[in-house]
Amino acid sequence: MRISARGRPVEDLPTEMLPAVDPGRSSGNGGVGDGLALSLSAALGPIAGLLSWVIAARVMPQAEFGQASAVVSAFILVAGAAQLNLGVGILRWLPGSGRRAGRLVWSSLLLIMPLSGLIGLVYVLVVPELARTAAGPDGSLALGVVLFVLAAAGWGVFVVHDFILVAIGKPWWAVWRNGLFAVVRIGLLVALCAYAGLGAQGVVLSWVGPIVVWIAAGSAVIWALVRRYGRRALGGVLPGRREAARFLGPTAISQIGTTLLYNQVTLLVILRYGPETGAAFFVAWQAVTVIDIGATFFMNSLAIHVAREPHRLPELAAAARRRLLLLFLPVLGLGALLAHPVLSIFGEGYAEVSTILQLLLLGLAFRLVVAHELGVRQAAGRAMQYATLQLVSTLLVLLVVIVIPVRDGSPDQALLPIAIGYVAVQVICAVGVRIRRQTKLEVRP
């Protein structure tokens, strides 16, 4: 009989389930590779979306443009709400799941897709105009409903595939996957709208077709990769239902708020200030959204490395903050310098809001402090604190857009109070985060 160093027989010691962790990938670069890949994957979508909307605006009447954008915004909103923040949960739990990785991945995907489809079905039945746009002038309402539900269900898991690829050590696969999707979608948009003349329906089909193909092929690839990942593991553990609910509940609510923020701010501006001013703001807001999402996804990768080495949370968080600022502050500065010439590409009416874009980018500089704190709270599993900060920062921006009185004048004059209000919200949130962190450091024994 062998005796352990603690004086107990080895046979009596409990067996520990060790997760599958590849030492060669354990934050040797501090997470910059995973974070950069997630940021690029997240940014490719809005960038391609902005380009596709520019093309759409040039090949179809403004009324059809509005109808198409309503359908796309609606199914993205539905899908974002139905994801329940499971993508970040996968980043947090997959590295330690070991041989149970497949169970974690497929239980998540098979929850998100039906839920997205169900919510999408209810949504499109309540707002049947969306189905009519998707079906086209000669299509049936049922066809439009099917197309909308397919788009919502597919997009619900599309983004989650990126998180899975990053969590199993294939971050740059997500970048190439999103890049190819963007190229195919824009190509279809040109073919269906510019050449086939399908108008708003062409925009919808240019989304639905690639989504269906990418989800079908991507699911097969994910199945093979996750299976191989699990086979290399030594045991593994999954979170219990109570633990998962404690983490996902608050963060899922905050994710819904963020989804509303990205998709509803421009709609509110259009409704309150009119289509001309709203269109100019839409372009400026898309640029802000690209950078905001990129910074958020960069910080999401911190969850992977904290899951592997939880004792290094302060060190990893500090490294993530340095890299976040080094990567994104120059981008914000360059964007402010090029605001007028870039907006001029869309036309003089859009260039009028270059000052508005510069102010929004200034607000984003302070938003980086909030994005970092959100990533740290998420990685540490402080779900309620994460949700509180995200909801407060989101609701304050929405409050600014709703409460500020509408001003007459040119777009830049009318939108100036909103831009200043956005900067003020980000400054308040950033200062609040720093004060709270400093207070915690001072009272720490």
Joined tokens for residue 309? 């080495």
Joined tokens for residue 104? 């974690």
Joined tokens for residue 350? 């859009």
Q: Are residues 256 and 221 in the same domain?
A: no
Residue numbers of the domain that contains 278? 239-305+324-445
pLDDT digit string (tens) for 225-259?
A: 888 877 776 666 777 777 777 777 777 877 787 88
For the chain, the domain total comes to: 2
CA distances from 103 to 98, 220, 415 (A): 10, 15, 49
pLDDT digit string (tens) for 265-277?
A: 877 777 788 767 7
Which of 212, 237, 262 is the last residue in one of the domains?
237
Beta strands in 403-442 (DSSP E): none
What is the arithmetic mean of pLDDT over 49-71? Answer: 77
Rounded Cα gap, residues 264 and 261, in angstroms? 5
* Arithmetic mean of pLDDT over the chain: 81
pLDDT tops 60 at residue 383: yes
Joined tokens for residue 426? 């980000």
pLDDT tops 50 at residue 15: no
Task: Please report, to the nearest 10 degrees, the dihedral formed by the alpha carbons of residues 165, 171, 175, 178 taken in order.
Answer: 10
Query: Does residue 67 lie in a domain region?
Result: yes
pLDDT on residue 8: 43
Query: Does residue 8 lie in a domain region?
Result: no
pLDDT grade, residue 30 (50/70/90)? Answer: very low
Query: Does residue 114 lie in a domain region?
Result: yes
pLDDT on residue 202: 92
pLDDT tops 50 at residue 19: no
Query: Does residue 24 lie in a domain region?
Result: no
Rounded Cα gap, residues 120 and 79, in angstroms? 8
pLDDT on residue 33: 54
What letter does residue 310 receive in the DSSP assignment? G
Which amino acid is present at 358? Q
* Contact status, residue 101 vs residue 226, Cβ threshold 8 Å: yes
Q: Are residues 445 and 372 in the same domain?
A: yes
Query: Does residue 362 lie in a domain region?
Result: yes
Q: Are residues 299 and 432 in the same domain?
A: yes
Which of 237, 256, 285 is the last residue in one of the domains?
237
Using DSSP, state whether 9 is helix, strand or coil: strand
pLDDT tops 60 at residue 31: no
* CA angle, 409 then 415 then 419, to 5°: 150
Lowest mean pLDDT among 24-33, 94-103, 338-347, 354-363: 24-33
Lowest mean pLDDT among 159-163, 358-362, 397-401: 159-163
Q: Does the predicted model carry a pTM greater than 0.75?
A: no
Query: How far is CA 335 from its chain centroid?
Result: 21
CB proximity list for 213: less than 8 A, separation 6 or greater? none
Q: Are residues 196 and 274 in the same domain?
A: no
Which of 210, 237, 264 is the last residue in one of the domains?
237
pLDDT on residue 4: 43
What is the arithmetic mean of pLDDT over 34-42? Answer: 64
